[in-house]
Amino acid sequence: MAVIDCNSYKVYVNEAWGKLQTIIDENSYSKIGVLVDENTQNFCLPIFKEKLNTDQYIVILIQSGEQEKNIETCKVIWSELLEHGFDRHSLLINLGGGVIGDMGGFCACTFMRGMDFIQIPTTLLSQVDASVGGKLGIDFRDYKNLIGVIKDPVTVWIDDDFLKTLAQRQIRSGYAEIIKHALIKDAEMWEEIKVIDNLDGIDWAPIIERSVSIKRDVVTEDQFEGGIRKILNFGHTLGHAIESENLYHDDPLLHGEAIGIGMILEAYISKEMLDLREEDYIDIKNYILRIYPHYRERLNNEENILEKLLKDKKNRRGMVNFSLLKQLGDCAFDVVPDQSTIIKSLEDYKNH
Amino acid sequence: MAVIDCNSYKVYVNEAWGKLQTIIDENSYSKIGVLVDENTQNFCLPIFKEKLNTDQYIVILIQSGEQEKNIETCKVIWSELLEHGFDRHSLLINLGGGVIGDMGGFCACTFMRGMDFIQIPTTLLSQVDASVGGKLGIDFRDYKNLIGVIKDPVTVWIDDDFLKTLAQRQIRSGYAEIIKHALIKDAEMWEEIKVIDNLDGIDWAPIIERSVSIKRDVVTEDQFEGGIRKILNFGHTLGHAIESENLYHDDPLLHGEAIGIGMILEAYISKEMLDLREEDYIDIKNYILRIYPHYRERLNNEENILEKLLKDKKNRRGMVNFSLLKQLGDCAFDVVPDQSTIIKSLEDYKNH
């Protein structure tokens, strides 16, 4: 049980649900909605309903999947809010993974210029990543999170009971952000987790708490991504490009799977450009390839990946900025590698 | 020439354009865009280009009109920004009336989770109203400004040269907000303007400055519309409902024309419920009917207007809150009239 203070709001990990009920009751909302997809409707909503007094809550259902995270789905959500008589004194509870949280938060913030929302992330990925930082939004024309805003929720409620509803692949996807948080900021945590070979039967709560705290520390230093916050992008510059490129694949990569690849590639570039030691790079690569499959064929469209890189919203004046490891637990930002180094990193991954 | 300080940004009225050039240059934007519609492209862009060094600016053109202020047009604007390589270090200059400012501002704030924007309002309405307060957004499913955010621009640049490009009807529309600002906050200004019978040949700059300053005072007291800011809604509760109801009329009412009607109706309700004197009500009604046509037939769909009222985003728990005059220059908010009083106000207007 832990409370992580993020200035304007708090993240609760495995706290008693009565606390959440109190937060909701205190605000006397005019209406309360719960946004779910068909998965969280089946697996998470029953848990949620058992814990809270939800007779008056209106359930808003959307289809699951990253491909639904677009403006058309926002129109569906806004329409539902309108039809059910929501107003700016209402509350939307986003019960689900990153798509639900990002898009539900965006819809809440923009409906009547802003109503309250509470995030209840139900995947490991959204618990350790999307739950802190206030980034909300949707994909647009193949670009991830191109449209969005930054705004904090009323509160974030994490319960590791929800993780029991997840497939192993989903757990693995979330774990990538835990690895990232350790690599950029906590070398000691890296030493502890890199011996974990099996993600079954892990007591996630303390790991989530530590991971969320790292992110909180970074984000509170820099809310609008002017500086240090950029270190959270480690693994994400190439990772996002690969994820975008694979969005319409028969079997799209999950976010964390793409970030796993991205971290290997960017650790390679870190070794080439900064002082990351060769042995630490090998360690990172081997560990990630022990947890995740080796997705060689996903990097075949090298040119498309490089083109996607140039459209990354973190760019300035067409330069592609990377966040790279100076050493374990220490990350630099705004580093611009040559295209040849980027290509070498892709080749190194494919030839492993 | 005046500078009105709005805390995080400034509104300039008839200042030398070199000042605006300096503000833009100081920020070293990666790209600069100018959003126009076909009217401001023809009539305002030439003035703008003459004043500023705009060789590198990218012109983004949309169709004019309130009916274009929707999510489909946002998609066009976002796509243009994407295709021209804009990023979060770019600038969008919104050159036009309220639609351009509200929608351009919304698109800028949400593109890559927020790029800078400058408002150059070119209509009297947008100069005195939309230029302060940070309200941005679009219409959705017949509801005005249902989707949006509150965010301040880098700066607001007002030049009354642009007013020469306007039709008389446009000037009259903007004038409604000037009347409103006087009625809610400045009885002395009301005495001065209520003798103006002819809106031709007026020196607008000092009136704009005074009007913007009233709005600034109200808004800075209450940025998120929790209290006093609601007085700006005087005339707007019924006015918006009438405007929405007339949106698809062959000849839709302009915003200020609807607000003119709304102010008469709400002054009537003020007289019935609060202490506004009968003679002041008569004065307000007669003056507004001297400036604007008497739109009797626009109020025929009484039931639709009442239904629209209930969906107003200022509502809480289905109660329709009005901002009403206690006396000239003094306005109350969160007053809830009976439906019968609302209907009487409509009848009184129609029977005048």
Domain-wise residue ranges, chain B: 2-164, 167-350
Q: Which has more confidence, B352 or B161?
A: B161
What is the reported pLDDT for B314?
64
Q: Residue A159 pLDDT > 90, yes or no?
A: yes
**Per-residue model confidence (pLDDT) at position A224:** 64
Q: What's the whole-number mean pLDDT along residues A298-315?
A: 82
Q: For position B331, what pLDDT does the model report?
A: 97
| The architecture CATH gives domain A167-351 | Up-down Bundle (1.20)
- The secondary element (H helix, E strand) that includes residue B170 is helix B168-185
A114 interfacial to chain B (CB closer than 8 Å): yes
* pLDDT score of A142 more than 90: no
- The CATH T-level fold of domain B167-350 is Dehydroquinate synthase-like, alpha domain (1.20.1090)
Q: Is A227 on the interface with B (CB under 8 A)?
A: no
B27 and chain A: CB distance < 8 Å anywhere?
no
User: Within an 8 Å CB–CB cutoff, is residue B98 touching chain A?
Assistant: no
Query: For residue A227, is pLDDT > 90?
Result: no
> Is any Cβ of chain B less than 8 angstroms from the Cβ of A167?
no
Find, in chain A, the residue whose alpha carbon is nearest to that of B90.
Answer: A316
Mean pLDDT, residues A230-245: 93
B105 Cβ contact list (under 8 Å, min separation 6): B94, B117, B119, B136, B151, B153
Q: Is A76 on the interface with B (CB under 8 A)?
A: no
pLDDT tens digits, one per residue of A179-208: 999 999 999 999 999 999 999 989 999 999
Residue that wins the pLDDT comparison between B146 and B226? B146
Q: Read off the pLDDT of each residue in A313-342 and give the average, rounded to a whole number.
A: 88
Joined tokens for residue B143? 């509801």
Quick one: pLDDT band at residue B223, thresholds 50, 70, 90?
A: low
Question: Would you state the pLDDT for residue A244?
Answer: 85
Phi, psi dihedrals of residue B306, rounded to the nearest 5°: -65, -35
Q: How confident is the model at residue B221 (pLDDT cuts 50, 70, 90)?
A: confident
CB of A71 within 8 Å of any CB in chain B?
yes
The pLDDT value recorded for residue B318 is 64
The predicted structure's pLDDT at residue B316 = 60
pLDDT of residue B118: 98
Q: What is the pTM of this model?
A: 0.89
How much is the average pLDDT of A221-226? Answer: 72
Q: Among A57-61, B54-58, B129-133, B212-216, where is mean pLDDT lowest?
A: B129-133
pLDDT digits (tens, 9 = 90+) for B242-300: 998 887 788 989 999 999 999 999 999 999 999 999 999 999 999 999 999 999 999 98
Do residue B89 and residue A316 have CB atoms under 8 angstroms apart? yes
- Per the CB < 8 Å rule, is B89 touching A313? no
- Go through chain A and tell me how many residues it has: 352
- CATH code for the domain defined by B2-164: 3.40.50.1970
Q: Which residues of A80-93 are buried (b: 16+ CB within 10 A; e: fewer)?
A: bbbeeebbbbbbbb
* Residue position matching structure tokens 């848990």: A47
- Closest by Cα among A344, A175, A217 to A272: A344
Q: What is the pLDDT of residue A308?
A: 86
A31, closest residue in chain B (CA to CA): B317
B129 vs A319, residue with greater confidence: B129
Helix axes A71-83, A98-110, angle to 10 degrees: 60
| Burial class of A222 by CB neighbour count within 10 A (0 to 12, 13 to 18, 19+) | middle
Q: Please tell me the predicted confidence (pLDDT) of residue B301.
A: 86
Average pLDDT, stretch A72-94?
96
Instruction: Report the pLDDT value the prediction gives residue B313, as an integer from 0 to 100.
Output: 62
Q: Is B35 helix (H, G, I), strand (E, B) or coil?
A: strand
CB B202 within 8 A of CB B171: no
B79 and A148 within 8 Å at the Cβ level: the answer is no
- Does residue A225 surpass a pLDDT of 70? no
Sequence-ordered list of residues with C-beta below 8 angstroms from that of A249, at least 6 positions apart, any chain: A298
Q: What is the pLDDT of residue B110?
A: 98
Give tens-digit pLDDT for A13-48: 999 999 999 999 999 999 999 999 999 999 999 999
From A30, A82, A315, residue closest to B316, measured CB to CB = A30
pLDDT band at residue B66 under the 50/70/90 scheme: confident
HEC assignment per residue over B148-162:
EEECCCCEEEECHHH
What pLDDT is stored for residue A318 in this prediction? Answer: 64
A300-314, B226-240, B248-262 — which is least confidently predicted? A300-314
- What does the pLDDT read at residue B113? 95
CA distances for A340 relative to A19, A272, A337, A344, angstroms: 53, 11, 8, 6
Which of B109, B147, B316 has the CB atom closest to A111's CB atom?
A: B147
B135: nearest CA partner in chain A = A113
Task: Give the three-class secondary structure for A199.
Answer: coil
Report angle CA B32, B36, B40 to the nearest 5 degrees. Answer: 130
CA distance A270 to A323: 9
- Mind listing the pLDDT tens digit for each residue in B177-194? 999 999 999 999 999 999
**Nearest Cα residue in chain A from B84:** A311
> Is B149's CB within 8 Å of A113's CB?
yes
Q: Give pLDDT, residue A133.
A: 85
B78 touches chain A (CB under 8 A): yes
Q: In chain B, what percentage of residues exceed pLDDT 70?
A: 97
Chain B CB within 8 Å of residue A149 CB: yes
Most confident residue range from A127-131, A293-297, B222-226, B269-273: B269-273
Task: Find out whether A263 and A288 touch, Cβ atoms under 8 Å.
Answer: yes
Q: How much is the pLDDT for B80? A: 98
Cβ <8 Å between B78 and A109 = no
- Which residues of chain B make contact with A140, given a CB cutoff of 8 A? 75, 78, 82
Cα-to-chain-centroid distance, residue A114: 22
Q: What is the pLDDT of residue B53?
A: 87
Q: Does position A312 have pLDDT exceeding 80, yes or no?
A: no
Q: Give the C-alpha separation, A308 to A318, whole Å.
A: 12
Structure tokens at B8: 């995080």
Q: What percent of chain B has pLDDT over 90?
A: 82
What is the structure's pLDDT at B341?
96
Q: Is residue A249 within 8 angstroms of chain B, CB to CB?
A: no
